[in-house]
Structure 1
Amino acid sequence: MSQSQVNAAGDRLRITEIFYSLQGEARNVGLPTVFIRLTGCPLRCGYCDTSYAFSGGQWYSLAEILTEVSHYPTLQITVTGGEPLAQKNCPTLLTQLCDRGYNVSLETSGALDVCQLDPRVIKVMDLKTPSSGELDKNLYTNLDCLKPQDQVKFVIGDRVDYDWAVEQLDHYKLAERCEVLFSPVFETLKPVELADWIVQDQLPVRFQLQLHKLLWGDEPGR
């Protein structure tokens, strides 16, 4: 998104899709959830599965977004992308959703500042692994702002990624800060390999698969 687009946004956000499905990842896996997928991302991870959200989308006012999500019978909302924090009005949306009693989680790349977000928002934050191609984008100061309700996610494509993730787990004492997720890159690393490594090394992490991909593959909006 260009600076001129940002300045023109007012109280709006560019949205790729708003949809109702089952949460496929993190602590609330399996729960019916409304997903708000914002358009745009400054990263280009090699394993990205939402590149369709890099551009396009439609402008929604904050009021229109709140009206749309109210049509669904759940209090679980996930704001995702792309990289949702690339749009300046995302923090305002998060706060307004919390004010209306929703349980709000944010899926973020970890490349942009999360420290000023509403403390009620559950942050699910990546640390980009070497195979992502975006290792240098990690903003490690974000780790100081994580709370026990939050989660750090490592998307792991090979043994190099795994060993690097284990180093970060130990160096930053991540399991003492919040829950840590290890997830295999879909159809790249066999889930059983990652599971075996975790068990062998007795890591204090949660192994996770992407439930939505097991059910629906790479179909957008699911």
Structure 2
Amino acid sequence: MDSNKNIQEHQKKQELIDDYLLDRLDSNARADFEQQMKLFPDFREMVHEQKALIVAVEEQALKREMDSFHSQIISVPEKNWLSAGWLALAASFLILISVSTWAILSSGNSPQKVFATHFKPDPGLPTTMSTTSNYEFYYGMVNYKREEYNEAILRWETLYAANPENDTVVYFLGVANLANGNARQARKYLQATQDKPESAFYDDAQYYLALALLKEDRIDAAKQVLSKSNSPANLVLLKEINAL
């Protein structure tokens, strides 16, 4: 009986965490949730693990799509490789290889090179579980995953204006602006997360904030941000920045 009760309580916690990560809590419930994370380290760790699991599921889905794409390439008849589309694709790969080779062979390092090496947009949250109440957020997430960053930003800025304390919206607005080439605007949003170490997005937000600062050549400020986090990714980035 106790075992069943524990299982049910654990399941309720997981559902609550999903609601938090997928932005399905109202402002009062979100405040209570974040207070729990602040008071209970084990619960906070559970939130981080669940977020990592969501990201892993998304990455696995992407991998399956890429594998399918590769299999289609292999199955294309040889004569089709001479078509204009395939020749353009081959040219793109040659350009990519040339740029990569230049980056590797060029001497020295710089903040911009470190940024280019480490910046990869957050894969985002699943969009299959959206509801009418958060339609705008998930519509923006679809835009974001399609790299339609302007559209995503426009949708999320409306949500931000209504609730600037929503750290999910704040975080993704920061990352979307950085992916869109606007480091200054990204910094505005990501800096708002610095006083919320209990947030599930805290470590990731510090990572992208440091990259935004790095893109602006503000090396010392980037170091200061990363020194507040012990996540493996942030420590690796800090080590590279220290070597500049």
| TM-score normalised by structure 2 residue count | 0.26
- Structure number with greater Rg is 2
Please identify which structure carries the higher strand content.
1
Please identify which structure carries the higher helix content.
2
